[in-house]
Structure 1
Amino acid sequence: MNNNNKHTVAALAIAMVTLSPSVFSSALPSDLTWISNLDEPLFASPEAKRGGTYRTYMRSFPQTLRSVGPDANSGLRHYFMDEVPKLAHSHPITGKWIPQLALAWAFGDDHKTVYFKLDPNATWSDGERVTADDYLFMLKYYRSKDIIDPWYNDFFTNHIDTIEKIDDHTIVIRAKVAKSHDELMYMINLPSNGLQPRPEHFFKVGKDENNDGIDDNFVRKYNFKAEPTTGPYYLDKVKKGKSITFKHVGKDWWGYSNKYYQHRYNVDKIRIRVIRDMDIANKHFEKGDLDSFMLVLPDLWHEKSNTEPYQNGYIHKVWGYNQVVQGAGGLWMNTATPLLGDINVRRGITYATDFDGLIKNVLRGDYLRKPHGFGTGYGDYGLSNLTPPPFAPQKAIRYFEKAGFTQIGADGIRLNGKGERLTFSVTYSSPARTPRVAYLKEQAKQAGLELTLNLVDGSSAFKYILEKKHELAYLTMSGGKIPAYWEYLHSSNAKPQTNNHTNYRSAEMDEKIAAYLAEFDTKKKQAISHDIQKMSADAFLVVPGYMAPFTREAYWRWMKFPTPAMTKETHYLFSNSLYLTLGTYWIDLDVKKETKSAMKKGKTFEPVVVVDDTYKP
């Protein structure tokens, strides 16, 4: 990766912050080239104003406030982990690495080692300083069996070799396997697990028979304890089953010394209420009790957002396109169940599932079909020719017959020689998806396939899927810049509480994944990625669904955002039940007062619909 702003240690100290003499530790190689990328474009608005409480909602209360361990891979983890500062972050427009907790970084000659200068201004939300010791503790924390999280145990044991302390604000991270500079940075700064520090002073060890520095009763002890954060918001109030409130650390938050954090995270509080029904939440929004509302669903955007508050200009709408990576999504087939272990059954289900018709007839043609394989948007790591299998009932029937389902029951559903019906339940998490699953159910009947609807509420659905209780899971996973295959496709994860939602086991795939993880040469690694994509497609593990390369949101006119609204990486403009977001929005309290007064007096404004198609595919 090309970096357009390289500094010596001395120049960096002058440009960014006055560093202590320990910066020039003799333990550092003398020929390091320090990188900071300080000249990338800003994406927040200097017009942003501080203050106010942003109000949103979630459909179910999280099962835990932990960011690791059982049930942590859902709920509010983005607030606790994914969107808090890492050492560096990919710029949302240019993709270059920009500083967060690290002021600068430098690469060793072995393609395994990265040196980081930590920002000495960085503090935890409880006021304690962030130091190199928090990174040393982090490694013990993630490797501990007491957190009961095999993914993190594996990653920090088998991918990270060591973390070494040079001084209080200088660390060295060494990978187990040589990688390109960009891949090293990506691995170290992954949104879902990046090497963010852990506050050792918070985790006071109790019973510790393993002698690993982590309480043996970690999962229960910290299930609903909010730990300090380096981010702009800390967890302030929890009303179990009702609401969660995050509070801003304050105008002196350490991050504001970083140019890329200025004019972001502007509201004083983020309050997330539990409203289990989306239609009821919409009513609360139109009454002014919530500040924004998602309109990604076609009926919401095209039909239900033309009520009086919209017509009177009190509520505005925005449709903004992005270019975020789209992870695998659609119907995930649990191959551990007897029938779905048969590839001919999986092939039949794939051709009996009419996602194209669903997009056209239910989703108004607004969405795009995902390719076959395992996600899209990976650039040269992806395959462009993996066309999603079309809806072809006759083809599906031929595969079902190969699997032994040669008979047809009185209701039109196919049977095998044992009298077993060709029927599978589809687990999904939102009532808004019921019409979609119902459409797939009706179309599947043409191939003699019965799909039954299994709606499991909110975060409980993901727990249900993690525990591998599903047959078919209607689910979309997020993705990163470089595809991650081990967690989804490796045999070692064909067990509960992992992301191998298909329970897939294949020695050949395991070998490919091992080669992919070990490969240093980018071109060769991309070629292996192509092989894995093709193998996963040929295994018919996930019926490819649809993707929405955009956000559509409604917001009260006092909610403001930059112009242009979108970056390539803008998932959503406003924080919601899952995402803290880039935090470039703000509340104009004067406009809020003006709007409230106008509503009382019957004064109206012009309706507003903002369309930002800068990054339209």
Structure 2
Amino acid sequence: MLAWLLVSLLAAALPPHVQAAPKPVLGLWDEAPENGTDGPFAHVNQDAPKGGKLRLSAIGSFDSFNPFSPRGVSASQIANTYETLGTEQRGTQEFIMRGLLAESFDLAPDRTSLRVKLRPQARFADGMPVTAKDVLFTFNALIKDASPIYRAYYDQVESVEALGEHEVLFRFASGTSRELPLIVCQMAVLPSHWWQGRNLGDPQTEAMPGSGPYRLASSTMGSRLVYERRKDWWGADLDVNCGRYNFDSIQVDYYRDAAIAREAFFAGEVDYYSENNIKDWTNAYNVPAVRDGRITRLTQEYIRPMGMGGIFMNVRRPALADLRVRRALSLLFDFDWMNSAFFYNSHTRFNSFFTNSPFAAESLPSAEELKLMERWRDKLDPAVFGPLPEQPAGGKATVRDRLRTALDLFEQAGWRVQDGTMVNEQGQPMVLTILTNSPSLQRVYIPFRNSLKRLGITLNVRLVDQTQYVSRMRAFDFDLIHSTVRQSSNPGNEQRNYWSSTAAKTRGSRNYAGIQDPVLDELVEELVAAPAKQDLYARAALLDRLLQHGCYVIPAWYSRDMRISWWKDRITPPPGMASVGVDIMSWHTTPPALPSGPDDAPAARGER
């Protein structure tokens, strides 16, 4: 106790700028609204009944209970066993953090430090208190031993100090990154006593005792997980947890692929299922439980920032390092035909790295973008000062033109068709492999493969299991990979992990394309340091513009709708689901049906 007293006395002597007015919320912008952030989330049922069992499905397998390791495949839903300093406010486009393990946030006016006060009642599942020591341990272990992503995320955190048993101070290299204090509050807090003798970078076959609402009750490695809600959970009465974590137990069963998982759902082995395949949504649900209404189906539009999804071309591969080759390959991907043949014209093509977001670039650069580009004019392709590259129209009417243009681009890049095979100047054939873990995507790639074959290019589709897929993706061991880089409503530090040169050389980063461009590196840093909203908009739009001109991704498709189904006599969604999407932890068990009578109101209609 004497040691903590001395630390507290030293803290009191810190410069005045460190000590602002503590608040229970922390916003990205000074004008961020705080109304609506002092009670339960708006989308939940505050009177949701507790109890029952939620049965979910997962695809593939798992071999670790450590989600922070760069190795292994972590168990599904394991995040419900631990907690973060703060939790993001739901149902708003603003980036606002509310206290979870943290009771209050004290951000210096110049944003160079953040004092966080922990809730003294917080406890890990083994009864040990959550203290400043655990925060320090977690931060240091994340940047030293865990996935390299964390090191990049917290690169601008200079130090973390304990100011007392339940108070910590984060010091930042500068106050230019407005997002950094909020990112720090997204950090999990792990039990330092349990990790003694263990390495956070290693896969774990035993689950740690976290401070979260659930603990792992039992498991069969690779196939089944059973979590149970903690009766002694310290955070049950917090406003941010009201109406959430309602099930007494959560069971997750693993299946080889989506088709088998769907059949398990129809058989009643799973309570909830989210459908990503429009063909199966249209044709596969003609089963008794759907026809007689025991399973409810819902299609609901949910507008949110989508980012960019598609076939990422790995420029670490010599054949794909040439921009002209990437443009040619993009011309041979016929989205319009695929959308008609496979997706009933229900999908929309990604058209930006900030699709469905106000940060997306317009066709022509704005005055603010042009001003930013001037300093790099001698390093930029003159084309970026003009309109964005257009996505070519697909279909049979454009096939010849697209093939002709693609062939011209290949020839400009030093490739030619010789005896029916596309070869380079050394006579080496162009052979590409697309890596996937989805059997359903195999058929989607067939038309793309056929288009490439017409120009003498071999495209192999390599289907691997989940473990191998994750391992190869982390090591960038692929030519092409179908993935999606999601964007938030406030782009910031994560852009380093997506597009920077450092991330391109960091195993496990999200820079799948391997982009290494000094201009993009500088621009990402300026985006992170944007002092005002209008600056952020301009810098994000320019980032989008340069990425589109770089042609690193063949844009694929997304759906504006979420398509979900559930056994209605087992689980019930919250009333405000439309505003936040599926927050499965805010669902609850379905109460027993009351006897029907002539005056009963009709039930709410779902899609059947």
> TM-score range with shorter-chain normalisation?
0.7 to 0.9
* 2:69 aligned with 1:80: no
CA contact (8 A) 1:444 1:451 kept: yes
Shift of 1:77: 6.7
Equivalent residue, structure 1, for 2:370: none
2:491 to 458, 482, 485: 482
**Residue 152 of structure 1 aligns with which residue?**
150
Structure 1 position 263, deviation (Å): 1.4
Contact 1:316 1:607 in 2 (8 A): no
Q: 1:109 is matched by which residue type in structure 2? A: P
Which of 465, 470, 491 in structure 2 is aligned with 1:462? Answer: 470
* Match for residue 166 of structure 1 among 163, 167, 170: 163
2:205 partner letter: F
Matches of 1:115 and 1:334, distance apart in 2 = 42
**One of 5, 21, 25 as aligned partner of 1:32:** 21
Output the amino acid matched with 1:442: N
**Is this contact kept in 2: 1:162–1:175, CA < 8 A?**
yes
Q: Partner of 2:66 in structure 1?
A: 66
- Report which stretch shifted further, 413-422 or 549-558: 413-422
**Alignment-mate amino acid for residue 46 of structure 2:** P
- Is the alpha carbon distance of 1:371 and 1:538 closer, same or farther for their aligned partners in structure 2, counting shifts above 3 Å? same
Cα-Cα RMSD: 3.1
Partner of 1:57, secondary structure, is: strand
1:339 is displaced (CA, Å) by: 0.6
What residue identity is the alignment partner of 2:283?
E
Question: Offset of 1:32 from its aligned partner?
Answer: 1.8
Which residue of structure 2 aligns with residue 529 of structure 1?
540
Q: Please report how far the alpha carbon of residue 316 of structure 1 lies from its aligned counterpart in structure 2 after TM superposition.
A: 0.9
CA apart distance, 1:67: 1.7
Q: Distance in 2 between matches of 1:379 and 1:66?
A: 36
Check conservation: 1:63, 1:71, Cα contact below 8 A: no
Instruction: Give the match for residue 209 of structure 2.
Output: 228
Residues 75, 298 of structure 1: alpha-carbon distance in 2 compared, 3 angstrom cutoff: farther
Alignment partners' CA distance in 2, 1:289 and 1:40:
32
Residue 399 to residue 155, structure 1, CA distance change in 2 (3 Å)? same
Give, in whole Å, the separation in 2 of the partners of 1:236 and 1:388.
53
Indicate whether 1:493 and 2:491 are aligned.
no
Q: Is the 8 A contact 1:344 1:403 kept in 2?
A: yes
Aligned residue for 2:575?
A: 563
* Greater mean deviation of Cα atoms: 362-371 or 503-512: 503-512
Q: Residues 348-391 of structure 1, C-alpha deviation per residue, up to 9 Å, x if partnerless?
A: 1111112233233312222221124x3434534x3244566224
Alignment correspondent of 2:556: 545
Indicate the larger mover: 60-69 or 133-142: 60-69
Amino acid at match of 1:153: R
Q: Aligned partner of 1:44: which letter?
A: V
Residue in 2 that maps onto 1:471 = 479
Q: Which amino acid aligns with 1:466?
A: R
State the AA in 1 paired with 2:491.
I
C-alpha distance 518-449 of structure 1, shift in aligned 2 (>3 A): same
SS of residue matched to 1:255: coil
Select 1:394's aligned residue among 396, 400, 404: 404
Once the two structures are TM-superposed, the CA of residue 415 in structure 1 deviates from its matched residue by 3.3
Residues 76 and 383 (structure 1 numbering): CA distance in 2 closer, same or farther, change over 3 Å?
farther
Matches within 5 A, 1:379-418: 379-380=358-359, 382-385=360-363, 389-390=391-392, 391=394, 392-407=402-417, 409-410=419-420, 413-418=421-426
For 1:248 and 1:520, how far apart are their aligned partners in 2? 43
Following the alignment from structure 2 to structure 1, what is the Cα–Cα distance between the partners of residues 241 and 41? Answer: 12
Q: CA deviation at 1:331?
A: 0.6
In the other structure, the counterpart of 1:12 is none
Deviations 1:63-92 (A, max 9, x none): 4322223236x6447633899444242323
The answer to whether structure 1 residue 510 and structure 2 residue 521 are counterparts is yes
- Once residues 239 and 502 of structure 2 are traced to their aligned partners in structure 1, the CA distance between those partners, rounded to angstroms, is 43
Superposition deviation, residue 471 in structure 1:
0.4
**Residues 442-453 of structure 1: pairs in structure 2 closer than 5 A:** 442-445=450-453, 448-453=456-461
Change over 3 Å in CA distance of 1:48–1:40 after alignment to 2: closer
Q: Is the 8 A contact 2:81 2:215 kept in 1?
A: no
Task: Output the amino acid matched with 2:158.
Answer: D
Cα 1:343–1:225 change in 2 (3 A) is same
1:501-533 superposed Cα distances (whole Å, 9 cap, x missing partner) = 112222332333334344544433443333322
Residue type at the aligned position of 1:306: N
Distance (whole Å) between structure 2 residues aligned to residue 27 and residue 166 of structure 1: 11
1:176 aligns with 2:173: yes
- 1:107 alignment partner AA: L
> Are the counterparts in 2 of residues 45 and 263 from structure 1 also a CA contact under 8 Å?
yes
Matched to 2:150, the amino acid is Y
Could you list the per-position Cα deviations for residues 6-60 of structure 1 after superposition, in whole angstroms to 9, with x for gaps in the alignment?
Answer: xxxxxxxxxxxxxxxx99x846856525244315752211342211221122221
Q: 1:261 to 1:139 in 2, by over 3 A?
A: same
Query: Which residue number corresponds to residue 91 of structure 1?
Result: 90
Measure, in 2, the Cα distance between the counterparts of 1:424 and 1:173. 47
Q: Is structure 2 residue 427 aligned with structure 1 residue 438? A: no
Mark the runs of 5 or more structure 2 residues left unpaired by the alignment.
1-7, 26-36, 364-387, 395-401, 596-601
Q: 1:164 to 1:398 in 2, by over 3 A?
A: same
Please list the CA deviations of residues 167-192 of structure 1 after superposition, one character each: whole Å capped at 9, or x if unmatched.
223322222231465x2443224xxx
How has the CA–CA distance of structure 1 residues 39 and 265 changed in structure 2, closer, same or farther, with 3 Å as cutoff?
A: closer
Mapped to 2, the partners of 1:439 and 1:524 lie a distance apart of 42
Task: Determine if contact 1:89/1:100 at 8 Å carries over to the other structure.
Answer: no
Instruction: State how far apart, in whole Å, the 2-side matches of 1:482 and 1:228 are.
Output: 33
Q: CA deviation at 1:128?
A: 1.7
> Counterpart in 2 of 1:208?
none
Give the one of 188, 196, 200 matched to 2:188: 196
Aligned-partner Cα distance in 1 for 2:309–2:20 = 46
How far apart in 1 are the matches of 2:579 and 2:498? 28
In the TM superposition, residue 253 of structure 1 has moved relative to its aligned partner by: 2.1
What is the alpha-carbon distance in structure 1 between the residues aligned to residue 291 and residue 603 of structure 2? 8
Question: How far does residue 266 in structure 1 lie from its aligned partner after superposition?
Answer: 0.9
Contact 2:124 2:130 in 1 (8 A): yes
Deviations 1:276-311 (A, max 9, x none): 133222222212111122223112221111221111
The answer to whether residue 355 in structure 2 is matched with residue 376 in structure 1 is: yes
Note closer, same or farther for the CA distance 1:551–1:510 as it changes in structure 2 (3 Å cut).
same
**1:366 corresponds to which residue?**
346
Greater than 6 Å deviation, 4+ residue runs: none
* Counterpart Cα distance in 2 of 1:238 and 1:82: 14
Would you say the 8 A contact 1:378–1:482 is kept in 2? Answer: no
**1:239/1:344 CA distance change after superposition, 3 Å:** same
Read off the aligned partner of 2:156 and give its amino acid letter: H
113 and 505 in structure 1: CA distance in 2 versus 1, 3 angstrom threshold = same
1:490 and 1:500 in contact (8 A); partners too: yes
Work out whether residues 161 and 168 of structure 2, in 8 Å CA contact, stay in contact via their aligned partners in 1: yes
Cα 1:184–1:514 shift into 2, 3 Å: closer
Do the aligned partners of residues 300 and 309 (structure 1) sit closer, same or farther apart at CA in structure 2, a change above 3 Å counting? Answer: same
Deviations 1:380-409 (A, max 9, x none): 4x3244566224333222211212233254
- Separation in structure 1 between the aligned mates of residue 118 and residue 452 of structure 2, nearest angstrom: 56
Correspondence for 2:242? 262
Shift of 1:94: 5.9
Aligned runs of 1:290-329 on 2, under 5 Å?
290-329=270-309
